[in-house]
């Protein structure tokens, strides 16, 4: 998974020798180098290493140099292409013609040479040839040779690069279904055409019994298991058993469940990404894994009706730590909801942080809260809030026990301290699973997310006759008075993790108020990421040709390919029309 795509930078130049090209060589190449330095300083891959840039060997003044650059980019595994120029150049001769690489052009805003003219001419060429390109042009005039990158240009360069790298990373990866359809949830009816045509991904499938087979035949690292179960006993505090007396398991049965769910966790990870230790044990095929960046575990009901549930496995895998220490989180979808798994992946690729998988369960109006608890909501909660809660399978990072600038946060794993890991573990209680839901038992995580975190909830949905669409809502986690939280939370299931969420409202449409957000949400699930990343999600969706049906991002923050403007003056309508016209990226 660490074979990351690179950003290719194409310095474009006026090809006329004899006075013009020579005068611009250094300036043009320095422009490319300045952008490469920006990317390498500001952007990181999923493993925390700095993003790698590749610059064309020469400035590109014509088709031969463009072809040479293309060959280099192919060799160097470039997944994203940025052209930069301070001057007029020959548009259709120098443009990037690769149909799959996300691409952008930064045309320098200067008066000595017409970089803006090249930008406009080449954007027109891209539009006419059906090769969408992002147009980047600074607000203020700069002097020729100025190597600084203005803030507005910097913002667009980084937005494009983050979204482009996310798209490039997905290509060729797999979604692994462990099991099949869970309780009729449509997201678990995995649509292979969506993954292939829109994301460039493969679909892999194993029956849930593969997990059971590996447990029974010992196809897992026994030494790791001994270390894992010891760590789990020390750090995962077991809570009270709230089951009816006749459904309470014995101590021996509960201990056996702990061993079972730890083995499940190791095996699901091995199924996704392989484990060379298994080859040493004589299991060469199992050692390879399925090259899966995302997976989903069916669980309910055929599995959970007689075996321990997947909550521990899903919660631990999606966290940024386990018995092996601090590490990158895995993207594992509860109930094999592949569309929410994709939504988690979008968020993860844009932030490098662990993702909360949750039911979008309940809208609590101020009136209902006061009726039930006697408390009148105030502050961010004054107009109501949404209860995000699922069956105990949410990342432990979601407890908000990490901090940034003194505030609750969810951080990239390389920024997390050992104390923050311990704080997340201490904030989590593992309750014996509710055996009305999960007849086979198991353990469900319970925590309460700290308030004050800026978060973005998103979801990809598939619509008959339309295809995929993306919806998102930026907002904040909130704190409730302890007694109010207890009263409201216990009405659902007190063994599950809770996040109280307030979206930013806009007084109209789907964001008229908090109730409208809940009423317009397109599924029972959502993927919740730390940070307000709605603009980045919109940029990424436009590259994938997935229209955005619902968002609360300010208009001036939205960045889509230039050709979208040709499809009408209303930005959301033009988004739909452009995505329909261009069709899936990989079809």
Please report, in range form, the residues annotated as the binding site for Mn(2+).
335, 359, 525
Q: What is the dihedral of CA 77, 346, 123, 90, to 10 degrees?
A: -10
**What CA–CA distance (Å, rounded) separates 255 from 58?**
65
d(CA 48, CA 323): 20
Q: Are 393 and 357 in contact (CB under 8 A)?
A: yes
Residue environment code for 64-88, b if the CB has 16+ CB neighbours within 10 A, otherwise e: ebbeebbeebeeeebbbbbbbbbbb
- What CA–CA distance (Å, rounded) separates 269 from 294? 10
**Per-residue 3-state assignment (H helix, E strand, C coil) for 95-137:** CCCCCCCCEEEEECCECCCCHHHHHHHHHHHHHHHCCCCEEEC
Residue 42, token pair as written in the block: 């500001």
Q: Which residue has the tokens 């600084």?
A: 148
In 3D space, the residue among 143, 93, 89 whose CA is nearest the CA of residue 116 turns out to be 89
- The annotation places the binding site at 335, 359, 525
116: which residues sit within 8 A by CB, 6+ positions away?
Answer: 107, 108, 109, 137
Estimate the crossing angle of helix 338-351 against helix 534-544, to 10 degrees. Answer: 120
Quick check: 206 and 260 in contact, CB under 8 A? no
Give the neighbor-by-neighbor strand order of the sheet with 237-238: 237-238, 429-432, 443-446
Known catalytic membership, residue 359: yes
Q: Which of 96, 286, 322, 335 is catalytic?
A: 335
The pair of structure tokens assigned to 12 is 């474009």
Among the options 221, 311, 359, 536, which is catalytic? 359
Residue 378 bears catalytic tag: no
Beta bridge partners of 387: 362, 500
DSSP state of 44: B
Active site (catalytic) residues? 335, 359
């Amino acid at each position: 998974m660490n074979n990351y795509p690179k950003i290719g930078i194409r310095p474009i130049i006026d090809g006329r020798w004899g006075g013009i090209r020579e005068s611009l060589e250094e300036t043009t190449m320095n422009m490319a180098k300045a952008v490469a330095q920006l990317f390498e300083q500001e952007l990181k891959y999923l493993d925390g290493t700095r993003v790698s840039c590749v610059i064309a060997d020469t400035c590109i003044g014509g088709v031969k140099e463009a072809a040479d650059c293309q060959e280099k980019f192919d060799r160097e595994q470039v997944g994203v292409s940025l052209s930069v120029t301070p001057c007029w150049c020959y548009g259709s001769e120098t443009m990037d013609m690769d149909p799959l690489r996300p691409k952008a052009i930064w045309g320098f805003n200067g008066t000595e040479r017409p970089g803006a003219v090249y930008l406009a001419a080449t954007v027109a060429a891209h539009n006419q040839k059906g090769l969408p390109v992002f147009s980047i042009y600074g607000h203020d005039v700069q002097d020729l040779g100025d190597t600084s990158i203005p803030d507005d240009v910097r913002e667009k360069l980084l937005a494009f690069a983050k979204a482009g790298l996310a798209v490039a990373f997905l290509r060729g990866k797999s979604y692994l279904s462990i099991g099949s359809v869970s309780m009729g949830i449509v997201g678990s009816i995995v649509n292979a055409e969506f993954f292939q045509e829109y994301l460039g991904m493969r679909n892999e499938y194993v029956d849930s019994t593969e997990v059971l087979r590996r447990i029974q035949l010992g196809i897992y690292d026994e030494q790791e298991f001994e270390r894992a179960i010891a760590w789990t006993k020390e750090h995962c505090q077991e809570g009270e058993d709230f089951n009816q007396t006749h459904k309470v398991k014995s101590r021996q049965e509960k201990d056996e469940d702990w061993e079972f769910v730890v083995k499940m966790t190791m095996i699901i990870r091995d199924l996704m990404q392989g484990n060379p230790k298994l080859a040493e044990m004589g299991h060469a095929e199992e050692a390879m894994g399925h090259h899966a960046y995302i997976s989903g575990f069916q669980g309910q009901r055929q599995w959970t009706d007689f075996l321990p549930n997947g909550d521990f496995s899903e919660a631990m895998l999606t966290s940024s730590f386990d018995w092996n220490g601090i590490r990158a989180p895995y993207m594992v979808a509860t109930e094999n909801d592949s569309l929410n798994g994709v939504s988690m992946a979008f968020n993860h690729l844009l932030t490098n942080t662990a993702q909360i998988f949750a039911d979008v369960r309940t809208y609590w109006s101020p009136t209902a809260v006061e009726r039930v608890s006697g408390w009148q909501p105030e502050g961010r909660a004054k107009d109501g809030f949404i209860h995000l809660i699922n069956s105990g399978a949410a990342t432990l990072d979601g407890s908000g026990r990490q901090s940034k600038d003194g505030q609750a946060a969810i951080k990239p794993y390389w920024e997390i301290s050992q104390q923050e890991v311990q704080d997340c573990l201490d904030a989590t209680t593992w309750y014996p699973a509710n055996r009305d839901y999960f007849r086979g038992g198991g353990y469900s995580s319970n925590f309460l997310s700290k308030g004050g975190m800026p978060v973005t909830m998103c979801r990809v949905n598939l619509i008959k006759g339309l295809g995929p669409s993306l919806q998102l809502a930026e907002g904040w986690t909130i704190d409730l008075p302890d007694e109010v939280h207890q009263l409201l939370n216990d009405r659902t299931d007190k063994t599950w993790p809770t996040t109280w969420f307030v979206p930013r409202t806009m007084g109209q449409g789907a964001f008229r108020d908090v109730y409208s957000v809940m009423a317009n949400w397109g599924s029972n699930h959502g993927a919740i990421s730390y940070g307000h990343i709605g603009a980045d999600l919109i940029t990424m969706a436009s590259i994938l040709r997935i229209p955005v049906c619902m968002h609360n991002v300010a208009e001036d923050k939205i960045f889509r390919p230039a050709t979208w403007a040709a499809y009408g003056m209303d930005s959301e309508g033009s988004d739909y029309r452009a995505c329909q016209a261009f069709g899936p990226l990989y079809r």
